[in-house]
Structure 1
Amino acid sequence: MTKTQTPDELLGIDSVFDGEDLDSAKVVRQWLGEHVREQIGSYFQEGTLPVRELSKGLGDLGLLGMHLEGYGCAGTSATMYGLACRELEAVDSGLRSMVSVQGSLAMFAIHRFGSEDQKQEWLPKLAAGDAIGCFGLTEHDAGSDPAGMRTKAKRDGSGDDADWVLDGVKMWITNAPVSDVVIVWAKTDEPDKNGNPTIRGFVVPTDTPGVSVAEIHDKISLRASITGEVTLDGVRLPASAMLPEARGLRGPLTCLSEARFGIVFGVTGAARDALTTAIDYAGTREQFNRPIAGFQLTQAKLANATSQYSAITLMAAHLGKLKDAGTITPDQVSLGKMTNVDTAMNIARDLRAVLGGAGITADYSPIRHAVNLETVLTYEGTHEVHQLSVGRALTGINAFA
């Protein structure tokens, strides 16, 4: 029997990353192994996640908003953040979603578009895990078409100091049931250059009168994630609650592109974990008096999965370099999200079969990753929407309309 190699060793994947970035990822992997990995199957079955407990530990590690500068944030490279997302999603997509929503949506929105007062008030607490944030964009009837949102923000009075009053409902909001603050996107009565209502963002503490959150239960996918519906009923906010630098859809879409970058890296962790689990199982499970790893069809599945995993990891590494260089574009992120999620989902599905009947239990991760990735394929831009974004970039023709 020849010496075995891990999927990363076979192609020398680690050589494309800096040693400091890899060392940081190892620290994350070790912490997750000590605090989360053994319990994640139970969290998934129970449909829960101890967000507040985990956020404090993740904050102590410096993972929350780690790629942002100042205000208690670690200020790491984008690639280091991406590798952390890989380790988080190797445990569960719900865990990576929790961190991504906190850092790349709620915190990034305040960091990129907020006032200095908003940054000083919220970012240190969110970075430390002492406060939880969420991002209110999606609605029941406005998912892929956020411009169709019905949530409204109206001035009560005249002048720049007049209060805002918000009404509407946001749906599928990760972290919402345990959040201290929600970034709400709403249509205002300010006309844009085409005469349409201008979309603005607001920093809304969840203890504000008129804010209520209902937890969403009975999910089949992404069960180790806390998700909610946020209702805003006459929520009165001071003028200072508005994000001053965000005007129009560019604000929320910029935040989504930031979060999608984490997904590009994260799903490679789910693929790696499914692959290593299948390899380990195939080496010990015997049929016909030999390990199933010795059968040609099993080796074909493992070889194909390793090829696909290597490709999406290299895609993520390349996009990490582009982001660190400041040259990455939303279309490139769309290509990465479209390709990597679909490929990782197929890897997890194919490798589930290697485990036979045991593969449908919570004892092994491939089925859980496969089910979770069905959600990741849909959120923060569906697979089809990203296909059209890439198609538009290639042809110059907008197929959305």
Structure 2
Amino acid sequence: MATSTLELSGLNFNLTEEHQAVQEAARDFAQTELLPGVIERDNAAKFPAEQVRRMGELGFLGMMVSPDYGGGGMDTVSYVIAMEEISKVDASCSVVMSVNNSLVCWGLEQFGNEEQKQKYLTKLAAGEVIGAFCLSEPEAGSDATSQHTTAIDQGDYYSLNGTKNWITNGGSASTYLVMAQTDVAKKHRGINCLIVEKGQDGFVVGKKEDKMGIRASDTHSLMFTDVKVPKENRIGDDGFGFKFAMSTLNGGRIGIAAQALGIASGAYELALKYAQERQSFGKKIFDHQAIQFKLAEMATKIEAARLLVYKAARLKDEHKDYVQAAAMAKLYASDVAMWATTEAVQVHGGYGYVKEYHVERLMRDAKITQIYEGTSEIQKLVIARELLK
């Protein structure tokens, strides 16, 4: 990655020494501790427990959290730099990192009270435990307002009932942020976010989903039957849950955009290396114009995606409106990830279809970036609405 000054819309993208140090640390971790065994974990759909533990020890699970609560106190730019490097190698690990940083820790720090931060955030930020963000349901994907999970007010606690689908870290988390409908008549204004702990009576983790990509991350359905959630575990005022979810997802999209960027750049780096090693018709395949054009277009689109991701991150750090920038970054970076990984397989030819060359896994991993934390179609809606403001 270039370390020169990059300017876009008046924003200065200059990688500081601290940013470069984060980049080097994340790259070293990915290459030395994630790369060995990444194919085997993907094949077996095995959750990378040891690797996630190490991410916690190295500070990658609470990067943006204040040191007062056990975090690294870093900016969003540092976070997306680390996300890119880790995603180049293992998107299953980077999605654990994304959810814990962008959705769970950030949401708790921004909107939780002091007691909630001391009880939950400190352990999450330190990587002692990991969290899960529970919004999606069998009938509430893109339409997040259609929450059928209910949290009935019982005085000093809520009685939680319902099912959540597609929950990342579903089986490995200890702390769950669960969106539930308390007052149906108020529609989305009647939704609350509740902190639920693993092991509570009536809380059951369903089977792990057998996925096309990010296979090592554990994605589960969660079932709640008369789970008693203390009132003090509600985040914010009554009815704040939907706003909490949307605010948190806006930042989460920057993390997923960085993940998509990493998947794309990882595939490009593998394709470039292979093109300089593989010979055909008496010369390296890089010397064939058809391959040069593919790699040139990959490099250009990836750089454009990186600028969008950095712009969104910097706007967030400067406490400016980043909703549109985050949606644009996720929309474009996820499309580039899907396209670039497909091209990387093509550059590899038959070898690209073989697991040991990694690019087929990156192609499978890329697809989900166009779906989770808001599909590409939802990102276009967000961007269009922002255009009218």
Scaled by the length of structure 2, what TM-score is found?
Answer: 0.93
Cα distance in structure 1, aligned partners of 2:297 and 2:114:
50
Contact 2:145 2:188 in 1 (8 A): no
Residues 130-178 of structure 1: CA distance to partner in whole angstroms, max 9, x if unpaired?
A: 2121111100110001110100000124xxxx21100000000000111
SS at match of 1:378: coil
Cα distance in structure 2, aligned partners of 1:355 and 1:13:
32
Cα distance in structure 1, aligned partners of 2:167 and 2:184:
26
Q: Does 1:63 align with 2:57?
A: no
Residues 37-74 of structure 1: CA distance to partner in whole angstroms, max 9, x if unpaired?
A: 121111111112223x2232112211112112131011
What is the letter of the counterpart of residue 366 of structure 1? Answer: V
1:168 to 162, 170, 184: 162
Contact 1:352 1:360 in 2 (8 A): yes
Q: Does 1:234 align with 2:226?
A: yes
CA displacement at 1:12 relative to structure 2 = 8.4
**Partner residue of 1:274?**
267
**Partner residue of 1:366?**
359
Residues 327-358 of structure 1: CA distance to partner in whole angstroms, max 9, x if unpaired?
A: 13212211111111111211111121000111
Residues 198-249 of structure 1: CA distance to partner in whole angstroms, max 9, x if unpaired?
A: 1110110011000000132321122121111110011012211111357141
Contact 1:134 1:183 in 2 (8 A): yes
**Partner residue of 1:391?**
384
Cα distance in structure 2, aligned partners of 1:320 and 1:237:
34
1:54 to 42, 51, 65: 51
Cα distance in structure 1, aligned partners of 2:373 and 2:328:
13
Give the direction of change, closer, same or farther, for the CA distance of 1:96–1:314 in structure 2 (3 Å limit). same
Could you say which structure has the greater relative contact order, defined with CA pairs below 8 angstroms and 6 or more residues apart?
A: 1
Cα distance in structure 1, aligned partners of 2:387 and 2:306:
23
Give the direction of change, closer, same or farther, for the CA distance of 1:286–1:12 in structure 2 (3 Å limit). farther
Cα distance in structure 1, aligned partners of 2:120 and 2:386:
37
Residues 303-336 of structure 1: CA distance to partner in whole angstroms, max 9, x if unpaired?
A: 1111111111122222222122111321221111
CA displacement at 1:264 relative to structure 2 = 2.1
Give unpaired runs (5+ residues) of structure 1.
1-7, 397-401
Contact 1:181 1:206 in 2 (8 A): yes
SS at match of 2:183: strand
Scaled by the length of structure 1, what TM-score is found?
Answer: 0.90
**Partner residue of 1:41?**
39
**Partner residue of 1:205?**
197
SS at match of 1:380: coil
Q: Does 1:293 align with 2:286?
A: yes
What is the letter of the counterpart of residue 229 of structure 2? Answer: L
Cα distance in structure 2, aligned partners of 1:268 and 1:375:
13
CA RMSD of aligned residues (A): 2.0
1:147 to 130, 141, 145: 145
Give the direction of change, closer, same or farther, for the CA distance of 1:139–1:280 in structure 2 (3 Å limit). same
**Partner residue of 1:353?**
346
SS at match of 1:377: coil
Give the direction of change, closer, same or farther, for the CA distance of 1:355–1:154 in structure 2 (3 Å limit). same
**Partner residue of 1:5?**
none
Contact 2:205 2:221 in 1 (8 A): yes
2:257 to 258, 264, 269: 264
What is the letter of the counterpart of residue 169 of structure 2? Answer: N
2:302 to 300, 309, 314: 309
Q: Summarize the alignment of residues 326-345 of structure 1 with structure 2, pairs less than 5 Å apart.
A: 326-345=319-338
Contact 2:160 2:226 in 1 (8 A): yes
Q: Does 1:283 align with 2:276?
A: yes
Contact 1:264 1:336 in 2 (8 A): yes
Q: Summarize the alignment of residues 111-190 of structure 1 with structure 2, pairs less than 5 Å apart.
A: 111-157=109-155, 162-189=156-183
Cα distance in structure 1, aligned partners of 2:100 and 2:278:
40
Q: Summarize the alignment of residues 369-384 of structure 1 with structure 2, pairs less than 5 Å apart.
A: 369-384=362-377
What is the letter of the counterpart of residue 335 of structure 2? Answer: D
Cα distance in structure 2, aligned partners of 1:301 and 1:11:
25
**Partner residue of 1:30?**
28
Cα distance in structure 2, aligned partners of 1:316 and 1:324:
12
Cα distance in structure 2, aligned partners of 1:328 and 1:282:
42
Cα distance in structure 1, aligned partners of 2:305 and 2:343:
16
**Partner residue of 2:10?**
none
**Partner residue of 2:91?**
93
Give the direction of change, closer, same or farther, for the CA distance of 1:244–1:390 in structure 2 (3 Å limit). closer
2:246 to 238, 247, 253: 253
Give the direction of change, closer, same or farther, for the CA distance of 1:13–1:305 in structure 2 (3 Å limit). farther
CA displacement at 1:106 relative to structure 2 = 1.7
Cα distance in structure 2, aligned partners of 1:57 and 1:243:
29
